[in-house]
Protein backbone atom coordinates (compact mmCIF):
# COMPACT_ATOMS: atom_id res chain seq x y z
CA UNK A 1 0.00 0.00 0.00
CA UNK A 2 1.19 3.52 -0.73
CA UNK A 3 2.36 6.00 1.92
CA UNK A 4 -0.46 8.42 1.14
CA UNK A 5 -3.04 5.71 1.75
CA UNK A 6 -1.54 4.90 5.14
CA UNK A 7 -1.50 8.58 5.98
CA UNK A 8 -5.26 8.66 5.40
CA UNK A 9 -5.77 5.62 7.61
CA UNK A 10 -3.59 7.13 10.34
CA UNK A 11 -5.62 10.33 10.17
CA UNK A 12 -8.81 8.27 10.36
CA UNK A 13 -7.56 6.67 13.60
CA UNK A 14 -6.57 10.11 14.88
CA UNK A 15 -10.03 11.52 14.18
CA UNK A 16 -11.67 8.50 15.85
CA UNK A 17 -9.82 9.45 19.05
CA UNK A 18 -7.41 6.52 19.09
CA UNK A 19 -3.94 7.04 20.52
CA UNK A 20 -0.83 6.00 18.60
CA UNK A 21 -0.63 2.55 20.20
CA UNK A 22 -4.28 1.83 19.38
CA UNK A 23 -3.76 3.08 15.82
CA UNK A 24 -0.71 0.83 15.39
CA UNK A 25 -2.63 -2.17 16.77
CA UNK A 26 -5.59 -1.48 14.49
CA UNK A 27 -3.41 -1.13 11.40
CA UNK A 28 -1.33 -4.19 12.33
CA UNK A 29 -4.48 -6.28 12.52
CA UNK A 30 -5.54 -5.35 8.99
CA UNK A 31 -2.18 -4.91 7.23
CA UNK A 32 0.41 -6.97 9.14
CA UNK A 33 3.07 -6.96 6.41
CA UNK A 34 2.95 -3.34 5.30
CA UNK A 35 1.99 -1.17 8.26
CA UNK A 36 4.29 1.79 9.05
CA UNK A 37 6.48 1.78 12.15
CA UNK A 38 5.29 3.28 15.42
CA UNK A 39 7.62 6.24 14.99
CA UNK A 40 5.96 7.08 11.66
CA UNK A 41 2.52 6.98 13.24
CA UNK A 42 3.73 9.25 16.06
CA UNK A 43 5.19 11.65 13.48
CA UNK A 44 1.86 11.96 11.65
CA UNK A 45 -0.14 12.27 14.88
CA UNK A 46 2.10 15.20 15.87
CA UNK A 47 1.53 16.83 12.47
CA UNK A 48 -2.24 16.33 12.72
CA UNK A 49 -2.28 17.80 16.25
CA UNK A 50 -0.40 20.89 15.02
CA UNK A 51 -2.68 21.05 11.96
CA UNK A 52 0.38 21.24 9.73
CA UNK A 53 -0.71 18.49 7.38
CA UNK A 54 -4.04 18.21 5.70
CA UNK A 55 -4.96 14.82 4.39
CA UNK A 56 -7.96 15.17 2.13
CA UNK A 57 -8.33 11.50 1.20
CA UNK A 58 -8.37 11.84 -2.58
CA UNK A 59 -6.63 8.52 -3.21
CA UNK A 60 -8.86 6.12 -5.14
CA UNK A 61 -8.90 3.26 -2.62
CA UNK A 62 -9.19 5.25 0.62
CA UNK A 63 -12.86 4.39 1.12
CA UNK A 64 -12.07 0.70 0.79
CA UNK A 65 -9.33 0.79 3.42
CA UNK A 66 -11.38 2.87 5.83
CA UNK A 67 -14.28 0.43 5.41
CA UNK A 68 -11.90 -2.39 6.37
CA UNK A 69 -11.13 -0.67 9.65
CA UNK A 70 -14.81 0.02 10.39
CA UNK A 71 -16.07 -3.49 9.78
CA UNK A 72 -16.80 -5.66 12.81
CA UNK A 73 -14.01 -8.05 13.76
CA UNK A 74 -14.89 -11.72 13.21
CA UNK A 75 -13.11 -14.37 15.25
CA UNK A 76 -12.49 -17.63 13.45
CA UNK A 77 -12.96 -19.45 16.77
CA UNK A 78 -16.47 -18.03 17.15
CA UNK A 79 -17.91 -19.91 14.18
CA UNK A 80 -21.29 -21.48 14.73
CA UNK A 81 -20.36 -24.74 12.98
CA UNK A 82 -20.49 -27.67 15.45
Question: Mean pLDDT of residues grouped by 10 in the chain (82 residues)?
Answer: 80 90 92 89 89 54 60 59 51
Q: What is the pLDDT of residue 23?
A: 94
CB 44 within 8 A of CB 53: yes
pLDDT of residue 33: 86
Q: What pLDDT score was predicted for residue 60? A: 36
pLDDT computed for residue 47 by the predictor:
86
- Going by the DSSP 8-state scheme, the letter that residue 59 receives in this structure is S
Amino acid sequence: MYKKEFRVLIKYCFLKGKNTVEAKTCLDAEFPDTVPRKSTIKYWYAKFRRREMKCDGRTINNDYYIALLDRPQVNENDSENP
